[in-house]
Amino acid sequence: MKELALWNEGDWIAAIAAVALFGVLAFGLSLSRRKSAEVLGHPSGLFVLFYAEMWERFSYYGMRALLILYLTQFWLFTDGKSALIYGTYTSLVYITPVLGGYLADRYLGQRKAVLFGGIILALGHGFMAVEGMHGITDPAVKQADPAINIFWLALALIIVGSGFLKANISVIVGQLYRLTDARRDGAYTIFYMGVNAGAALGTILVGYLGQTIGWSYGFGLAGIGMVIGLIIFVMGKPALMGKGEAPAPLARTQEWTLYGLGALAVVVIWALIQYQDVIQSLLIVAGVAMLVYTLYEALKLPKEPRERMFAILFLIALNPIFWGLFEQAGGSLSLYTDKFVDKGGVPTSLFQSINPIYIVLLGPVFAALWVWLAKRGWEPSAPAKFGYALLQVGLGFLVFVWGAQGVGAGVATPVVFVFLIFLLHTMGELCLSPVGLSAMNRLAPAHLASFIMGAWFYMSAVGNFIAGKIGEATGGDSGEMTKEATLAIYAQIGWISIGVAAGVLALAPVVRRWMHLDALQDR
């Protein structure tokens, strides 16, 4: 421990985060002692899922905040290559929920899928704490270290584990409410706050340990967080009131065969993560296959549910555009911050906590805003909210570019513009992500609930891969990022996002009619 007089900004931020973590735990403990079926106007199961997902996000986002820095500073990949690996990793995290969602829908049920995914995730975060050789300065020698295979294995385990957990825990949230329950959007916003409370605290504490004490310490803390989340989920089973169980009794041999498929998926992902160029082709092929299957299912439905499926497809198609731009945060924007921003002694990874902190602060505001507008008949439709999301993400890039260029090419970008781009992007995220989760669960037919949620995350995967390709472009031909080239790319994608937003807002009334919200019935 340093003496207090020697603490810098990063030390104080980490200390405050540690105190906040204990506060969140104390609040959760007080909730767990209540025996009522509802807590704060919501089913108590919501808060079991809130805390389980909070710890899972603590581990995932904590590790993610370090990842691109770990790739460039420990494994010595170039900036462009690191951004591509980062984008490939995050895209695969969003692809595997299609597999996890399908197996949960047809066989396992969501609860067992989440449990299996949590175990795989805990193993993955544990392997991330294994480091290879130190003191190597030649990238070729460093990347030939056999320990890099353990690193790839850790990423593969986290990817597959997320696939079983990510979509299915969101589905359980929706199962706690009737389709016509006015609390649904608010519930997903509360759940989303749990996601981001874990993300903020994990980013700060894991990032701080990783950058100031050692990579393995940061990754090790992420693993501990995942184990805690797993324990909460297991102990909170009674509060779920039987939701998320298998659709039919499952033989033990059949169940273990499904877990074997999960283990096989780890092997496949271990190979794919190392060959990023293959992922692009697979994304295209799988995306077309999912579209054909979704249309096939939609065309078998009566008029109103069929048009709801068309509305789902419209919303899902906007996902990769938004996330392809938004996810520069953990890739190219993180590297830009490390190289060209006046950070004032704060470790670069800690800036990844700005977005989830904004979510925690603004989440209740947006949840209350939607309710207030709905009571007066002024609430924007889901497609209109998506349009506003794209508008704000575009403005975020333009404000950042104008601020960085305004101080001159040779001057470090003032840190205030990092806070501004995250603010605008976060407000865009609150218009899209919780609203999209709620829309997928509300509009999808019961027999396709997890598949549709998986498709939602799949298109997020496409967006994350696009983000990696954009990040790779900021590295230029040499692979090393430059300030001028990065700002030029940011300006271009900012204007593109605003143009798409205008088109979405124009089409929003048509898509709203396809949703047939007035005809929804509880299952």
CA distances from 374 to 4, 185, 521 (A): 50, 11, 19
Model pLDDT for residues 327-381, shown as the tens digit of each residue: 999 899 999 999 999 988 789 999 999 998 898 888 888 888 888 888 888 889 8
- Cβ atoms 262, 160 nearer than 8 A: yes
With both helix axes pointing from N to C terminus, report the angle between 332-340 and 449-474 in degrees, rounded to the nearest 10: 40
State yes or no: pLDDT of 315 exceeds 60. Answer: yes
Owner of token pair 């899972």 = 56
Q: Do 42-274 and 276-517 have matching folds? A: yes
Tell me the mean pLDDT in the region 100-126: 88
Classify residue 368 by its DSSP letter.
Answer: H
- Cβ atoms 148, 203 nearer than 8 A: no
**Total H helices, total E strands in the chain:** 18, 2
| Residue 92: both structure tokens together | 């695969």
Question: How far apart are alpha carbons 142 and 418 in whole angstroms?
Answer: 32
Cβ-Cβ contacts under 8 Å for 165 (sequence gap 6 or more): 56, 100, 113, 114, 117, 118, 121
Q: How confident is the model at residue 35 (pLDDT cuts 50, 70, 90)?
A: low
Helix H or strand E segment including 243? none
Tell me the mean pLDDT in the region 400-411: 90
**Candidate from 294-308, 405-419, 446-460 with smallest mean pLDDT:** 446-460
Residue 411, Cβ density class (10 Å: 0-12 exposed, 13-18 middle, ≥19 buried) = exposed
State yes or no: pLDDT of 227 exceeds 90. Answer: no
At residue 437, φ and ψ (nearest 5 deg) are -60, -45
Reference 520, options 432, 450, 449, 444; nearest CA is: 444
Question: How far apart are alpha carbons 496 and 442 in whole angstroms?
Answer: 30
State yes or no: pLDDT of 409 exceeds 80. Answer: no
- Cβ atoms 297, 369 nearer than 8 A: no
State yes or no: pLDDT of 290 exceeds 90. Answer: no
Please tell me the pTM assigned to this model.
0.83
Question: How far apart are alpha carbons 445 and 436 in whole angstroms?
Answer: 16
pLDDT value of position 5: 76
Q: How many residues does the chain have?
A: 523
Sketch the domain layout of the chain as residue ranges: 42-274, 276-517
Q: How far is CA 121 from the centre of its chain?
A: 15
Helix H or strand E segment including 43? strand 42-43
Question: How far apart are alpha carbons 69 and 77 in whole angstroms?
Answer: 10
| Residue 260: both structure tokens together | 């074997």
pLDDT value of position 427: 95
Tell me the mean pLDDT in the region 3-9: 80
- Cβ atoms 329, 352 nearer than 8 A: yes
pLDDT value of position 106: 84
Q: Looking at the structure, give the CATH architecture of the domain made up of residues 42-274.
A: Up-down Bundle (1.20)
pLDDT value of position 41: 72
pLDDT value of position 107: 86
pLDDT value of position 85: 92
Residue 140 pairs with which residues in a beta bridge?
none
Tell me the mean pLDDT in the region 48-74: 87
pLDDT value of position 429: 93
pLDDT value of position 50: 81
Cβ-Cβ contacts under 8 Å for 505 (sequence gap 6 or more): 384, 387, 388, 391
Q: Name the CA radius of gyration of the chain, rounded.
A: 22
Q: How confident is the model at residue 47 (pLDDT cuts 50, 70, 90)?
A: confident
Model pLDDT for residues 462-515, shown as the tens digit of each residue: 999 999 999 989 887 777 889 999 999 999 999 999 999 999 999 999 999 898
Model pLDDT for residues 238-284, shown as the tens digit of each residue: 888 888 788 888 888 888 999 999 999 999 999 888 888 888 888 88
Tell me the mean pLDDT in the region 304-318: 90
Question: How far apart are alpha carbons 307 and 511 in whole angstroms?
Answer: 9
Question: How far apart are alpha carbons 41 and 39 in whole angstroms?
Answer: 5
Question: How far apart are alpha carbons 182 and 66 in whole angstroms?
Answer: 39
Residue by residue, DSSP assigns 142-172 as: HHT-TTHHHHHHHHHHHHHHHHHHHHHHHHH
Tell me the mean pLDDT in the region 152-170: 88
Q: How confident is the model at residue 33 (pLDDT cuts 50, 70, 90)?
A: low
Model pLDDT for residues 116-149, shown as the tens digit of each residue: 999 999 999 989 988 888 888 888 898 989 999 9
Tell me the mean pLDDT in the region 219-235: 86
Helix H or strand E segment including 343? none
Residue 66 corresponds to which amino acid?
L
Question: How far apart are alpha carbons 371 and 126 in whole angstroms?
Answer: 42
At residue 128, φ and ψ (nearest 5 deg) are -60, -25
Model pLDDT for residues 203-216, shown as the tens digit of each residue: 999 999 999 999 99
- Cβ atoms 346, 413 nearer than 8 A: no
- Cβ atoms 168, 98 nearer than 8 A: no
Question: How far apart are alpha carbons 456 and 97 in whole angstroms?
Answer: 9
At residue 8, φ and ψ (nearest 5 deg) are -105, -175
CB burial string 36-59: b at 16+ within 10 A, e below: eeebeebbbbbbbbbbbbbbbbbb
pLDDT value of position 34: 64
Helix H or strand E segment including 498? helix 483-515
pLDDT value of position 483: 92
**CATH entry, 276-517, from 1.20.1250.20, 3.40.50.300, 2.170.190.11, 3.90.180.10:** 1.20.1250.20
